[in-house]
Amino acid sequence: MPDIPPHADNAIVWRDGRLYLLDQRLLPLKTGFIGLDTGEEVADAIRDMVVRGAPAIGVTAAYGVVLAARNAWQARGPGWRKALEPDLARLAAARPTAVNLFWALERMRGLMAELGAGDPTARLLTEAQAIHQEDIAANRRMGELGAALIEGPTSVITHCNAGALATGGYGTALGVIRSAFAAGKIDRVYADETRPWLQGSRLTAWELGQDDIPATLLIDGAAASLMARGGIGWIIVGSDRIAANGDVANKIGTYGLALCARHHGVKVMVAAPTSTIDMTRATGADIPIEERDPAEVLCCGGNRMGAPGAGAWNPVFDLTPAGLVDAIVTEKGVILQPDAKKLANLMTG
């Protein structure tokens, strides 16, 4: 495989006709890429958490369509559209909660409808690369807008990983943190471990370390006590889907953080591109919440830790009501105290 620097901003790479993904399951102890050649392989990589984070899933899925279409053209020629459908279905089924996945697939389908009977690969690749670059630009804009809300210097808490690894590059929540740290507004980031996959411990701390941003890990249950001690100005998180009324689906544990933040007078900021806002879902109750294998909770490092006979409930996300969110930051602007009217104005403006 080509020489690709193992950096968070290079987690999704198209090179020499292949898609390369930085395998996030290996971090932080190892850095290595997986090369993918088919839509089915991309769907498997999304499902198996090689790549995660709603914007990154959307970007990856777009490249997956390119691979699937190229293979369909080579196998079926002018009949490539019909041959492509099984791969599109696999990609759509890979992760049910992250709306960016479906947004990206629909955008690629829209282009497919405009194409003739010839080889679609080049046009679809241009579109996937545009989605990738637009996401990076949106993240940098969100970083600027979110940082402007922070009065510093202060410390912040973030949950899960909403950095360059979870996006096309730079990050949503970590994009805000990067911009605010550069402006001297953040002096320390507390990263929840984020069980059971430990995205905060393995990924967020790794990203912050690359940028020399002071980081301290928290077990998920310690955040309330830390807020009670003072010195925390904001909770800054990303999102996998935002309903039309401003309810936020994000990594499990976000709801509890928001409740504790309200009690302690700490503000909550959600940074997410407008592709994460799903205006077809009136409230958070309409958002499907993915549940994964109980073994992820019951086992650690391949060894069972849970008591024999015990089961486990393993939802990947929870819902934070809009009333607990102080600001939603998008590339189009900031919504303070979000509600249905404000989101509708943003999305139609």
- Extract the residue ranges of the chain whose pLDDT is less than 50: none
Active site residues: 240
Report yes or no on 277 lying in a domain.
yes
Confidence at residue 265, expressed as pLDDT on a 0 to 100 scale:
98
Looking at 90, 113, 137, the residue that finishes a domain is: 137
Quote the tokens at residue 88.
């599109």
Quickly list H helices, the chain: 39-47, 54-76, 80-93, 99-114, 121-148, 173-182, 199, 205-210, 223-229, 254-264, 295-298, 340-348
- 138-179 pLDDT, tens digit per residue, is 999 999 999 999 998 999 999 999 999 999 999 999 999 999
Tallying the residues shown for the chain, one arrives at 349
Q: Are residues 262 and 277 in the same domain?
A: yes
Quote the tokens at residue 304.
């069972």
Q: Are residues 147 and 128 in the same domain?
A: no
Looking at 114, 137, 160, the residue that finishes a domain is: 137
Q: For strand 248-251 and strand 241-243, is the pairing parallel, antiparallel, or unpaired?
A: antiparallel
User: CATH number for the domain including 333?
Assistant: 3.40.50.10470
Confidence at residue 1, expressed as pLDDT on a 0 to 100 scale:
57
Q: Are residues 211 and 334 in the same domain?
A: yes
Confidence at residue 152, expressed as pLDDT on a 0 to 100 scale:
82
Confidence at residue 118, expressed as pLDDT on a 0 to 100 scale:
92
CA atoms of 41 and 140, how far apart (whole Å): 30
Domain count, the chain: 2
Q: Are residues 43 and 160 in the same domain?
A: no
Q: Are residues 90 and 186 in the same domain?
A: no
Q: Are residues 53 and 178 in the same domain?
A: no
Report yes or no on 119 lying in a domain.
yes
Report yes or no on 342 lying in a domain.
yes
CA atoms of 65 and 161, how far apart (whole Å): 25
Q: Are residues 26 and 125 in the same domain?
A: yes
Residue 87: domain span:
8-137
Looking at 137, 170, 193, the residue that finishes a domain is: 137
Q: Integer distance in angstroms from the first to the last C-alpha of the chain?
A: 45
Q: Are residues 279 and 157 in the same domain?
A: yes
Q: What is the DSSP letter of 62?
A: H
Q: Are residues 122 and 146 in the same domain?
A: no
Q: Are residues 91 and 125 in the same domain?
A: yes
Q: Are residues 115 and 152 in the same domain?
A: no
Evaluate whether 146 touches 225 at the Cβ level (below 8 Å): no
Q: Are residues 128 and 158 in the same domain?
A: no
Q: Does pTM top 0.85 for this prediction?
A: yes
Report yes or no on 3 lying in a domain.
no
Query: Cβ-count burial of 129 within 10 angstroms (0-12 exposed, 13-18 middle, 19+ buried)?
Result: middle
